Chains A and B, each alone.
Chain A
């Protein structure tokens, strides 16, 4: 049962982001000693006498670069010396006490967007206090002082003082009113590429991820979980493993059991050897084919209306096209398997975990330990990938239960197999699209989706008939169809589902952008031009579309069995368009040669980090579209490691070019928006190359070879 606070956190953490914290290089991420003699200017920043500036980051670094880009927002207004900036995690416990940082959840490509006004204001306020302190010292008007690179100057008198010299006096300054922010034209940092603050630690092995935490006297726990999610432990025979070297305890968990030993390898071996039986109930007799039929059949049953514009059924005149798209469950498979370390001492619960939601982690740890949330301290670490998965830290609950049971600090880690089999997956779905074209133009669109509810699965709440994430990318389509009907049916199986990089957009953009391609072909119009016309009311999207078409050489000739596919999708406040170019050999093997992406995220904080996010999102989307499929047999996930759940390798990765075309629109997210267009751009390219329309993912299951 989640508290109201956790509930709010869960709802706002509506998506995966990417990627990992930096602490000062050699320090552990959780135990950064602030530079000696530092003075706080509010909860967000500290300045040391030598000018070293520590900026606190209230979101999780999982690779998306926010340990760099969030401090940039502060530093821009502060006018400090960027080379003296360090980042460290903001403290969730302090946030609980003082509400110092607002929501610390990371998801929905939200970190930069939600921090954009607040963190700049933090920097501007601190700057104003430093200026006020200098002005007071010198007996001059604050307005006659300027700042640059961590120094306040008074030109008329030639005086200057560094922030480090001024910070103690500045801490005593109370501002009568909040200072104005810089005009964009005055930005010196924002819009430039700075070296990432986490790069060095991530290149010399010193970056501390959750799995790297070590505490004195720590034991290690490995789990054996019921292979059928939701199932229960029947029996286990602890005596079968207790005599093994190093094994200390066998502890029951909800849905499983864990073996505790003095080394992780010993715990892992013992957990694998532990005799167990499971109670799996009816779920133990299910499989993917049943689920696929259930979702398909649901499309013929009762559906809830998510959007109705005009009368789509009446407008289904002319050439009517219908297509069914199907997508599988997908695992997040972050490179670092889930793990957490817990230490119960002195009435406190101290935990170390890579989490996308320190507030929810606090609630979970308190619940598992049976203490109040005020007794919990969560130390966030660098996340070895998140993608949404680390929003719900199931592993943390287990670590606390075990630590409580054995009375020692415990690091509990999942194997890769457990991480994949006990994921909370991207939902499986069936999506039926109908549309009509006449005279080269689109007349109507009707979309119906049958998909698992994340609200029900994750929060145990009735989602009502429509869930926003189930229809995102369909109900809010920017295409100017005069008649639109979008309906949905929420149906869950026993397989848990959750936010997976771009959430509902991941499957809905595949259906929408594949289908728009099908409509274009039915209308006999070039897919790029067809989209352009349907987006006539969205000049911002047309601009992104035109950029990707131009940069990809859209319309130029390609060799036989090569093809280009285009897709555009708006999500998380940003627009991303991609053109994929593929080659399909005679046997049907697909090689992605090149992906060109154009993105409008309103304002770019750091162009290099922005491009990295787009590249990452493209690889993530292509990996899933090409290879990945979580299938169920006897209620159990059949995949378990990277042999059966593939990750794209260097040799398979296309050249990726990213063009950032920021407009004046409000700042948008970037962790996720590059993912949704990848699958449809790929499949549209495969169609262009082969004439075969892939409507069921992954592509690996499609027959694309030349029939003789």
Chain B
């Protein structure tokens, strides 16, 4: 039995402990907002928060997560998370949208740690891939979210 806390709910799962969290979220818990795109930690489409810190869920064996709090895009409710989602919608960041859950999770974590990130800090934190090339709008939306957070 594996114990897992996702979006505030505790789960007991009969599953191989080496299963990556990504597949547990999607196929056991039906939380489909977290996406698979590379499976090797390179793209960030699968990003979730582990105790508020962004991690790539395709690289996290579910058996290693007892006692930590996982937050997915469906459960994102921090002030930074809400500001990011609002800014994303205001700027119409998403194109195909497939990478955007991960982008939003990464941006929300960045803004929770740094209320006014500069462009270099954004570059360093936002390593998620986007095949649609939404980067210029992601950058603008992060600045906008920072503004929203500062009130």
Contact = CB atoms under 8 A, between A and B. Distances in A.
B113 interface: no
Contact of B133 (A20, A211, A214, A618): A618
A584 B137 CA distance: 26
Contact of B88 (A203, A383, A385): A203
A494 interface: no
Most buried by A among B72, B100, B139: B100
A313 interface: no
Contacts of A196: 92, 94
A620 B96 CA distance: 14
A264 interface: yes
A38 interface: no
B32 A208 contact: yes
Given A205-B101, A335-B98, A642-B38, A608 B92 contact: yes
A19 interface: yes
B121 to A, nearest CB: 11
Given A195-B92, A416-B39, A650-B139, A202 B127 contact: no
Given A203-B104, A335-B37, A335-B129, A263 B95 contact: no
Interface string B88-107: 11001111111111001000
Interface string A394-436: 0000000000000000000101100000000000000000000
Contact of A653 (B37, B38, B97, B133): B133
Contacts of A195: 89, 92
Nearest to A209: B98
A203 B135 contact: no
A204 B136 contact: no
Given A333-B131, A616-B132, A643-B40, A62 B85 contact: no
Interface in A259-274: 263-265
Contacts of A335: 35, 37, 43, 45, 96, 98-99, 129-132
A168 B4 CA distance: 52
B85 A20 contact: no
Contact of B135 (A18, A207, A653): A653
A18 B96 contact: yes
Contacts, number: 182
B131 A650 contact: no
B60 to A, nearest CB: 13
Contacts of B37: 335-337, 384, 416
Contacts of A641: 38-40, 42
B19 interface: yes
B37 to A, nearest CB: 5
Given A205-B34, A416-B39, A620-B133, A649 B96 contact: no
Given A196-B94, A608-B92, A63 B132 contact: yes
Interface string A48-79: 00000000000000111100000000000000
A214 B30 contact: yes
A293 interface: no
Most buried by A among B30, B92, B131: B131
A334 B138 contact: no
A304 interface: no
Contact of A619 (B88, B100, B135): B135
Contacts of A384: 35, 37, 96-98
Given A265-B20, A335-B37, A335-B45, A204 B96 contact: no
B97 A202 contact: yes
Given A19-B132, A616-B133, A63 B32 contact: no
Contact of A204 (B36, B85, B95, B123): B85
Interface in B121-151: 122-124, 126-139
Interface residues of B, number: 55
Most buried by A among B37, B128, B132, B139: B132
Given A19-B132, A63-B97, A650 B126 contact: yes
A383 B96 contact: yes
Given A337-B36, A647-B129, A609 B135 contact: no
A247 to B, nearest CB: 13
Nearest to A643: B42
A648 interface: yes
B40 A20 contact: no
Contacts of A286: none
Contacts of A220: 27
Interface string A18-31: 11100000000000
A305 interface: no
A199 B89 contact: yes
Given A245-B16, A335-B130, A641-B38, A263 B27 contact: yes
A493 interface: no
B133 A203 contact: no
Interface in B3-61: 16, 19-20, 23, 26-28, 30-40, 42-43, 45
A642 B132 contact: no
Nearest to A619: B133
B74 A62 contact: no
B56 to A, nearest CB: 12
17 contacts: A63-B94, A203-B85, A206-B33, A209-B97, A211-B35, A263-B28, A335-B130, A382-B96, A384-B35, A384-B37, A416-B38, A609-B92, A616-B95, A616-B132, A647-B131, A649-B135, A650-B123
Given A335-B96, A650-B126, 10 more contacts: A204-B85, A334-B131, A335-B45, A336-B96, A382-B96, A616-B132, A617-B133, A643-B42, A649-B126, A649-B127
Closest 6 CB pairs of A and B: A205-B33, A619-B133, A384-B98, A202-B97, A63-B95, A63-B96
